Structure 1
Amino acid sequence: MVSLLKKILIGRPLKSNELGEQKLIKTKALAILSSDALSSVAYGPEQILIVLVTIGAAAFWYSIPIAIGVLILLTALILSYKQIIFAYPHGGGAYVVSKSNLGINAGLIAGGSLLVDYILTVAVSVSAGTDAITSAFPALHSYKVLIAIVFVLFITILNLRGVTESASILAYPVYLFVLAIFILIGVGVFRIATGGVSPDLHTPVGTPVAGVSLFILLRAFASGSSALTGVEAISNAIPNFKDPAPNNAAKTLMAMGGLLAILFSGIIYLAYYYGISPSEKVTVVSQIAESVFGRNFMYFFIQGTTALILILAANTGYSAFPLLAVNLAKDKFIPRMFTVRGDRLGYSNGIIFLATFSIILIIAFEGRTEHLIPLYAVGVFLPFTLSQSGMMVKWIREKPEGWVIKLVINTTGAAISFIVTIMFFLTKFAHIWPILVFLPFIIYLFHRIKKHYDSVGEQLRISPAESILPIEGNVIIVPVAGITKVVENSLNYAKSLSPDQIIAVYVSFEREDEKKFEEKWNKWQPDVRLVTLQSYYRSIITPLTKFIDIVEHKASEANYQVTVIIPQFIPKKGWHHILHNQSSLLIRSYLLFRRDIIITTVPFHLKK
């Protein structure tokens, strides 16, 4: 039943040689890897205006030069990540760049920040999209957490079905959103050009405004830079592209940068010219759409596609998180299970892990994740700063042809990203202080995992200087609970291994039972030595393990191996297990972690 349901939801398992068919073409990759970045135009421009409105509507003209600053940063990031794609074609993005050029800890800071950020991406994006839906249908407001969880499960199932299949479905809403915003910008600019919009709605550029300071402008710039979240996702997901993967990834990155620049600039310009002021109840994009079209079909088309892309922005996390996790797992900083491909050739463990923690965040914050947005943004700009700085070190050290221009690009990106990061700490500290707690903890956890894997490798490595002594013989201990076919089956197996070194062990709670069992045993199996143990506290495990310890100590002196053979009968139906005590399971579980003892279970299958 479970396998049938899995096949219906996820699809038939794919062969390993079908991996090439799961690679993405540029148009699909642009849709699923750019959804986070492109969706940010729905809230990035608004973040700038929210800061400027504290001075007054007259200060809105400052949004134009601030937007130019954001575009300069976007250009530096796009050009830098293009360089990263060709310099590190196997993916990994900021983590690989920082680790290679700035050291392990810098790489772990970048990698840890991005892992957490992708979890936040899913939680924040889905919650934001759910808010848009519940705003349109207020009766659903009390179900917003459930709705958000359903969306997470839906996107998770799509990604478990494979990258190509999820891209085929999710590409349409993304391109519909791009089309909707392009129409909005085109019609809005046309109305301005034809005199359909009064110039009195806005303050002319350059108008002096009292109360403006460099700190406020930098704060507005930092808030607006939240529109650049998700820019790094393509460099993390290079292995998902069809060959030549680096070339296709670079072209997709440039296309994403161009689209983001046009959409962001257009929304900022229309918001300024139409005199749009941020409101708690109505988004800036909604106000622009209503001013340009009124409340007609186009208005609802724009609102609908905006809500969709806010939800689907979560898919960027699903595309980038598993691949970043693979790079960390290959370096032994997180569990190796993240390197395992699932039935549909995707890294399903990473997908499920991401979905689980996103749902936990949604439930913990009751779908109100607005306070996580600053944490989400600083989690991106910290890796931005490290990756740009890493590339600076790379160019200075290697000095390839044309390295000076590349150095200037990365230096610009690093400087601006660092300023944005500092501004977040200065202006949003109440919301982002947790990063100072969980990031060091995550890095500590990375090192502990790495230490464990190194220790395991060292202990398993074959060394000529440390050869293992050959086993001279085998002492077999068989715990028995009665004279049954189950015990007979196990004894027959034990005799096939070592007929002269078998010890049957019976634990009794009463003296009378002990004597009766010994008499029956001597008649049934006179050639097998029986040891009876008295348990005063009705425990089987305690006296049994003490006896095993004594035998193991004596056996080790003669270089003999102790093997415990556990008889176990297997009921025909699964639910029959609850009708029987699980002594064999408890004994096996307890002995499994004891050194130098081999545990073997001999099953006896019941037929009815």
Structure 2
Amino acid sequence: MFTTIKRFLIGRPLRSNELEGQKLTKLKALAILSSDALSSVAYGTEQILIVLATISTAAFWYSIPITVGILFLLLALILSYRQVIFSYPQGGGAYLVSKENLGLLPGLISGGSLLVDYILTVAVSVSAGTDAITSAFQTLHPYSVEIAIILVIIITILNLRGLTESASVLAYPVYLFVFSLLVMMGVGIYKIATGQVPPDLHPHLGTPVAGITLFLLLKAFSSGCSALTGVEAISNAIPNFKDPAPNNAAKTLLMMGGILAVLLSGITFLAYWFGIAPKETETVVSQIAEETFGRNILYYFVQGTTALILVLAANTGFSAFPQLAFNLARDKFLPRMFTIRGDRLGYSNGIIFLGVASILLIIAFQGNTERLIPLYAVGVFIPFTLAQTGMIVQWIRKKPHGWIVKLMTNLIGALITFGVLMILFITKFPQVWPVFIFLPIVILIFRRINCHYEAVGEQLRIEGMFKDEIRENVIIVPVAGITSVVERSINYAKSLSDNVIAVYVAFSHEEEKRMEKRWEEWGNGVRLVTLHSSYRSIIYPLSKFLEIIERKSRERNYQIMVLVPQFIPKKRWQYILHNQSALLIRMKLLWDKDVVVATLPYHFKK
């Protein structure tokens, strides 16, 4: 039943040699890896206006110069990450750049920030998409959290089906979104040019605004920088591109930057000219679309495609998170399960983990996009800054041809991103202070996992020649009576060793004597040890007995094996009709004792 449902949801398993067929073309990669960055235009301008609205609507003209500053930062990031792509074609982006050039701790900070950021990507994108849906259909507003959770589950299943299949599905909404916004911008600008929009809806550029401060402008700028999240995703996922992967990734990055610049500029300009003010129950894009088209089919087309890309922007996280988790797991900082490809050749454990974590985040923040975005922006600007700094160190150390120009590009990028990061910390500290708690925790988890793997490797390492020091097995068979299951277990144990001990735990002295008498009458030639349990526990007396046997076995170089008989009911539901003594014994011994634990199953036919 489970296998049937799994095959229906994610499809048939793929062979390992079909991996090349799962690589992405530039157009598919643009859709699947740039959806986060492109979708951010739907709320980037809105975040600027929310801050400026705290002064007055007269301050909205500042959104124009603020957007120009953001576009300059975008250019610096695109040029910088283009160099990262060619320098680190194996993927990993900021994590590998920081680790190799700045040291292990900066690498872990960068990797941890990005992992958390991709979880936030999914939560923010889906929450923003839900906002777009509830803006068009406001009766759904009370159910926004439930809608967001359902959408995350759908995207998770899509990604479990594989990269190319999810890209084929998701490419259409992304390009429809770009097309719908270009149409809206074209119609809006045409109406402005032909005088159909009154010129007094907006404050004139340069209008003096009482109460405006540099602190407020920097806060608005840092809020608008949320439109740049996702720029780094392409550099993290280079192995997902078709060959030549670095060239295709670099071209995709340039295409994404160009489209993002056009859309962000257009949305900001229309919002300014139409005098749009942010509302709690309706997005800025929704208001622009209504001013441009009215509440007709074109308005709903814009809202529909906006909602789709905001939801599907989560796919950037689903594409980049598993690859980054693979790199960290390969370096022994995350569990090795993140290095395993699933049935559809994707890193399915990373995909499932990301889906579950983002759902928990949506529930914790009740799908409030505005509360999540500051954390989201900080999470991405930390690796932005570290990546640029790491590239500076690399150019100084290696000095390749033309390294001065490359150095200056990354230096400018590092200074700008560090400045934005400081602005975010200063202006939004009440919202971003959790970074100082969860990031050290993430790094501590990385360290503990790494220490564990290093300790395991040290203990598994073979030193010198092979030594066979085990002379004989001592086999302990816990028994609950004299049955066909016990008889089979004793006979099997005798076939492995001449040193077999049956152990029976009695809850009363009468029961103990009765078992000893029956065992003697049975006469199987195996010694029976009876243990008395005053507190009706099987595990504790057995554990104390094994401690005695362990001490003797160390003196004589014997290996202890505990052979646990277990019968298997014909129907799975019948397990609940029996106690789970065998399971409890195995769990206790595996954790606490240095013994071999084996199970001899006995399957019932009826």
TM-score, length of structure 1 as denominator length: 0.96
With over 3 angstroms needed to count, the CA separation of the structure-2 counterparts of 1:560 and 1:181, relative to structure 1, is same
- When structure 1 is superposed on structure 2, of 358-367 and 280-289 the one drifting more is 280-289
Q: Is the 8 A contact 1:61 1:204 kept in 2?
A: yes
Give, in angstroms, the shift of residue 168 of structure 1.
Answer: 0.9
Give, in angstroms, the shift of residue 365 of structure 1.
Answer: 2.2
Give, in angstroms, the shift of residue 357 of structure 1.
Answer: 1.1
With over 3 angstroms needed to count, the CA separation of the structure-2 counterparts of 1:62 and 1:507, relative to structure 1, is closer
Q: Alpha-carbon deviations, 1:328-378, whole Å to 9, x = none?
A: 111111111111111111111111111111111122222224211111111
Structure-2 residue corresponding to 1:399: 399
Structure-1 residue corresponding to 2:535: 537
The percent identity for this pair of structures is 69
For residue 121 of structure 2, give the secondary structure of its aligned residue in structure 1: helix
CA–CA distance in structure 2, aligned partners of residues 85 and 317 of structure 1: 18
- Give yes or no for the alignment of 1:472 onto 2:461: no
Q: What amino acid sits opposite 2:382 in the alignment?
A: L
Q: What amino acid sits opposite 2:484 in the alignment?
A: K
- When structure 1 is superposed on structure 2, of 509-518 and 299-308 the one drifting more is 509-518
CA–CA distance in structure 1, aligned partners of residues 287 and 515 of structure 2: 88
Q: What amino acid sits opposite 1:10 in the alignment?
A: I
- Give yes or no for the alignment of 1:376 onto 2:376: yes
Q: Alpha-carbon deviations, 1:104-158, whole Å to 9, x = none?
A: 1111111111111111111121112112222322332332221111101100110
- When structure 1 is superposed on structure 2, of 508-517 and 549-558 the one drifting more is 508-517
CA–CA distance in structure 1, aligned partners of residues 271 and 515 of structure 2: 91
With over 3 angstroms needed to count, the CA separation of the structure-2 counterparts of 1:53 and 1:588, relative to structure 1, is closer
Give, in angstroms, the shift of residue 202 of structure 1.
Answer: 3.7
Give, in angstroms, the shift of residue 468 of structure 1.
Answer: 4.6
- When structure 1 is superposed on structure 2, of 513-522 and 253-262 the one drifting more is 513-522
Q: 2:513 aligns with which of 515, 530, 534?
A: 515
CA–CA distance in structure 2, aligned partners of residues 426 and 113 of structure 1: 19
CA-based RMSD of the aligned residues comes to 1.7
TM-score, length of structure 2 as denominator length: 0.96
With over 3 angstroms needed to count, the CA separation of the structure-2 counterparts of 1:313 and 1:555, relative to structure 1, is same
Structure-2 residue corresponding to 1:571: 569
- Give yes or no for the alignment of 1:147 onto 2:143: no
CA–CA distance in structure 2, aligned partners of residues 509 and 275 of structure 1: 83
CA–CA distance in structure 2, aligned partners of residues 134 and 528 of structure 1: 74
Q: What amino acid sits opposite 1:155 in the alignment?
A: I
For residue 5 of structure 1, give the secondary structure of its aligned residue in structure 2: helix
With over 3 angstroms needed to count, the CA separation of the structure-2 counterparts of 1:508 and 1:272, relative to structure 1, is closer
Structure-2 residue corresponding to 1:445: 445
Give, in angstroms, the shift of residue 293 of structure 1.
Answer: 2.4
- Once the two structures are superposed, the pairs formed by residues 344-363 of structure 1 within 5 Å of their partners are 344-363=344-363
Structure 1 unaligned residues grouped into runs of 5+: none
Q: Is the 8 A contact 1:94 1:383 kept in 2?
A: yes
With over 3 angstroms needed to count, the CA separation of the structure-2 counterparts of 1:246 and 1:361, relative to structure 1, is same
Structure-2 residue corresponding to 1:559: 557
Give, in angstroms, the shift of residue 65 of structure 1.
Answer: 2.3
Structure-2 residue corresponding to 1:302: 302
- When structure 1 is superposed on structure 2, of 116-125 and 514-523 the one drifting more is 514-523
For residue 538 of structure 1, give the secondary structure of its aligned residue in structure 2: coil
Structure-2 residue corresponding to 1:32: 32
Give, in angstroms, the shift of residue 207 of structure 1.
Answer: 4.4
CA–CA distance in structure 1, aligned partners of residues 407 and 531 of structure 2: 78
Q: Is the 8 A contact 1:381 1:421 kept in 2?
A: yes
For residue 334 of structure 1, give the secondary structure of its aligned residue in structure 2: coil
For residue 602 of structure 2, give the secondary structure of its aligned residue in structure 1: strand
- When structure 1 is superposed on structure 2, of 467-476 and 77-86 the one drifting more is 467-476
Give, in angstroms, the shift of residue 211 of structure 1.
Answer: 4.1
Structure-1 residue corresponding to 2:499: 501
Q: What amino acid sits opposite 2:476 in the alignment?
A: I
Q: Alpha-carbon deviations, 1:540-594, whole Å to 9, x = none?
A: 2222222222122112111111111111111111111111122222212111123
Q: What amino acid sits opposite 1:537 in the alignment?
A: Y
With over 3 angstroms needed to count, the CA separation of the structure-2 counterparts of 1:366 and 1:202, relative to structure 1, is closer
CA–CA distance in structure 1, aligned partners of residues 19 and 412 of structure 2: 39
With over 3 angstroms needed to count, the CA separation of the structure-2 counterparts of 1:142 and 1:185, relative to structure 1, is closer
Give, in angstroms, the shift of residue 244 of structure 1.
Answer: 1.3
For residue 43 of structure 1, give the secondary structure of its aligned residue in structure 2: helix
For residue 462 of structure 2, give the secondary structure of its aligned residue in structure 1: coil
The total of aligned residue pairs comes to 606
Q: Is the 8 A contact 2:44 2:223 kept in 1?
A: yes
Q: 2:597 aligns with which of 583, 599, 604?
A: 599
Q: What amino acid sits opposite 2:595 in the alignment?
A: I
CA–CA distance in structure 2, aligned partners of residues 45 and 179 of structure 1: 19
